[in-house]
Structure 1
Amino acid sequence: MNLLDSLRTHRLLAIVRGSDPDAALATVLTLADSGINLIEVSLTSTDALGVLRRARAALGTEYGLGAGTVLTAEQAADAAEAGATYLVTPALAPSLAEAARLGLPVLAGALTPTEVVQATTGGAAAVKLFPASVGGPDYLRALRDPFPQTPFVPVGGVDAARARDYLDRGAIAVGVGSPLVGDAVRGGDLAALRQRAADFLAVTAIAPAGGAS
């Protein structure tokens, strides 16, 4: 997949992380059915690879289903085998080189200017600004001065209001976990998840020409 194009088009990456595999799968499928095209299943989840396999079988190839918190070369290979079409890392890690060997795009975690350079020169399709909550939207704006062409995706502490702020300051997309997923990964209300998904999709939508965002 072309991860960079997908991030620019959809502008929202949902992050699913939980200890109940069946609830995690239901969360992924509900997010997809609600119109969210990019969904990451964190490998810190219980039976994450099983969730990825079952989600891919249910969704087919239409959706951008990725694996998150991928740190090692072995994890990268396992995620690819389970059906992930892109990888997400919290930091610069050996998984970046393995993903390149496998031909998988990576959203690579970085925080400092040095790490941003290392991520981009290491072949990352985009930079996951993590944890974004450390500096907030103003830090993203400061980073974009020396890195105006770098595609940034803030992750960490991104609620609906912050999502809009980050996008207004030049992020190509935002990654959102608990503010979007809520208690669904613990078997919570899927109707409430659908409403939160609609709210985030409205916040991250590109405004029509001449219209307000």
Structure 2
Amino acid sequence: MDLLTALRTHRIVAIVRGADPDAALRTVLTLAEERLALIEVSLSGQDALGVIRRARAALGPGAPLGAGTVLTAQDARAAHDAGADFVVTPAVCEGVTEAKRLGLPVLAGVMTPTDVVAAQRLGADAFKLFPAAQAGGPGYLKALHGPFPDAPFVPVGGVDAEAARTYLAHGAAAVGVGSPLIGDAADGGDLDGLRERARAFLGAVRATAAADTGR
């Protein structure tokens, strides 16, 4: 898949990490129903590889489905075998190298300019700015665009709907959203609440697109 195009088209990566595999699967499918097209299942969740396999079977081959928290070469191979279309790493690590060897696009975790250069050398397709809120928020994103004006950054960590709108307005290719979107749904919580939050995030994306069009 063309990860960069998908990020710039859909603007949100929904991050699912759950203690209940069945609930995590229901969460993935609900997000897809709400037209959140880019979904990442974190390997730190319970039976995450099983969730990816089952979600892939339910969604079919056309829906972009990623594996997150990919650290090692073994993680990358397992994600590939489970049917992931892309991987997300929390850092510049061997998971990046192995995923690229397997032909999977990578959203690589970075914090500093040195991290960005290292990830570029390994062939990362985009850069997960993590943890974004602790790094300095939209101001830090803007600062990184100084030396890396064309780098596709995806802020992750503490991104609610309002922050998503701000990051996108400051040039983020997309945002990654975990608990502010997922809530307790992946642990067996309310799916109606999940639907409401998904619509709020999609509304933030639409508002940003409308503002860009009006400039």
Is the structural similarity TM-score above 0.5?
Answer: yes
Aligned equivalent of 1:59: 59
Render the CA deviation track for 1:80-104: whole Å, top value 9, x for unaligned.
1101000000001101110111000
2:210 paired residue among 198, 207, 210: 207
2:196 counterpart SS class:
helix
Distance 1:47 1:95 in 2: 19
Aligned equivalent of 1:2: 2
* Percentage of matched positions with identical amino acids: 64
Residue 9 of structure 1 deviates from its aligned partner by 0.3
RMSD: 1.2
Aligned equivalent of 2:131: 131
Distance 1:93 1:209 in 2: 35
Render the CA deviation track for 1:106-143: whole Å, top value 9, x for unaligned.
00000001001111121000000000011111000011
Distance 1:65 1:28 in 2: 9
Distance 2:212 2:15 in 1: 30
Aligned equivalent of 1:18: 18
Summarize the alignment of residues 126-205 of structure 1 with structure 2, pairs less than 5 Å apart. Answer: 126-134=126-134, 135-205=136-206
Residue 211 of structure 1 deviates from its aligned partner by 4.2
Distance 1:210 1:103 in 2: 35
The 3 A distance-change label for structure 1 pair 99 and 49 is same
Distance 2:213 2:145 in 1: 25
Distance 1:140 1:84 in 2: 28
The letter of the residue matching 2:5 is: D
**Which consecutive unaligned segments of at least 5 residues does structure 1 have?**
none
Q: Does 2:72 align with 1:69?
A: no
Distance 1:110 1:186 in 2: 28
Mean Cα deviation higher: 41-50 or 113-122: 113-122
The count of aligned residue pairs is 212
The letter of the residue matching 1:36 is: L
